Amino acid sequence: MAKESLWGFGCLMRRKRVDSAGTRCRGQQLAKRLSAVDLVAIGVGSTIGAGVYILVGTVARQQTGPGLIISFLIGGIAAALSAFCYAELACRCPSAGSAYHYTYICVGEGVAWLIGWALILEYTLGSAAVARGISPNLVLFFGGADKLPTIVARHTIYGVVVDPCAAILVCVVALLLCLGIKESSLVQTIVTTVNVAVMAFIVIAGVYVGFMTGWVGYELPNGYFPFGVNGVFAGSATLFYSYVGFDSVTSTAEEVKNPQRDLPIGIGIALSLCCILYMLVSAVIVGLVPYYALDPDTPISSAFAHYGMEWAAYVITIGALTALCSGLIGGILPQPRILMAMARDGLLPSFFSDINKHTKVPVKSTVVTGIAAAALAFLLDIDQLAGMVSVGTLLAFTTVAVSILILRYVPPEEVPFPSSLQDSIHFESISCSSSIQGTEGEKNKDSVGSCEHLLDNEGSLVGHPLIEKAAHAEHNELRRRKIASWCIASVCIGALLLASAASAKDLPGIPRFILYGVGGVFLSCGLIGLTSIDQDDAWHSFGHPGGFTCPLVPLLPVCCILINTYLLINLGSRLMFQNNHSALTCHVAFLRHGVVPSLLWVGEAIRWHLDAGFNMAGSWSFDISILRPVSQLIARHNLSASSRC
The DSSP code sequence of 353-401 is G---TTT-S-HHHHHHHHHHHHHHHHHS-HHHHHTTSSHHHHHHHHHHH
Q: Which parts of 98-204 are beta strand (E)?
A: 155-157, 160-162
Long-range contacts of 592-600 (CB under 8 A, 24+ apart): 592/7, 592/8, 595/346, 595/347, 595/348, 595/349, 596/349, 599/348, 599/349
Model confidence band, residue 420 (pLDDT cutoffs 50, 70, 90): very low
Mean pLDDT value of segment 537-552 = 88
Instruction: Give residue 73's pLDDT.
Output: 96
Instruction: Give residue 6's pLDDT.
Output: 39
Instruction: Give residue 601's pLDDT.
Output: 38
Model confidence band, residue 449 (pLDDT cutoffs 50, 70, 90): very low
Residue type, 170: V
Model confidence band, residue 426 (pLDDT cutoffs 50, 70, 90): very low
Share of the chain above pLDDT 90, in %: 52
Q: Is the pLDDT of residue 544 over 70?
A: yes
In angstroms, the CA 60 to CA 572 distance is 24
C-alpha closest to that of 337 among 365, 372, 371, 373: 365
Distances 459 to 279, 432, 443, 453, 463 between C-alpha atoms, Å: 71, 11, 21, 10, 12
In angstroms, the CA 59 to CA 232 distance is 9
Model confidence band, residue 27 (pLDDT cutoffs 50, 70, 90): low
Q: What is the CA radius of gyration of the chain?
A: 28
In angstroms, the CA 542 to CA 214 distance is 57
Give alpha helix (H) positions in 441-464.
441-451
Domains assigned to the chain: 31-409 (1.20.1740.10), 472-535+551-588 (no CATH)
Q: Give the DSSP letter string of 181-195.
A: HHHHHHHHHHHHHHH
Residue 529 CA to its chain's centroid (Å): 27
- Half-sphere exposure of 120 toward its Cβ, with a 13 Å CA cutoff? 28
Mean pLDDT value of segment 481-485 = 94
Distances 409 to 346, 413, 488, 491, 543 between C-alpha atoms, Å: 28, 11, 9, 13, 15
The tens digit of pLDDT for each residue in 407-418 reads 999 988 543 334
Mean pLDDT value of segment 152-176 = 89
Three-state secondary structure call for residue 34: strand
C-alpha closest to that of 380 among 174, 640, 112: 640
Three-state secondary structure call for residue 26: coil
Least confident of 15-19, 389-393, 421-425, 487-491: 421-425
Model confidence band, residue 537 (pLDDT cutoffs 50, 70, 90): confident
Least confident of 223-232, 447-456, 477-486, 519-528: 447-456
The tens digit of pLDDT for each residue in 575-597 reads 544 444 444 444 444 444 344 33
Mean pLDDT value of segment 307-314 = 90
Mean pLDDT value of segment 509-520 = 92
The more confidently predicted of residues 605 and 357 is 357
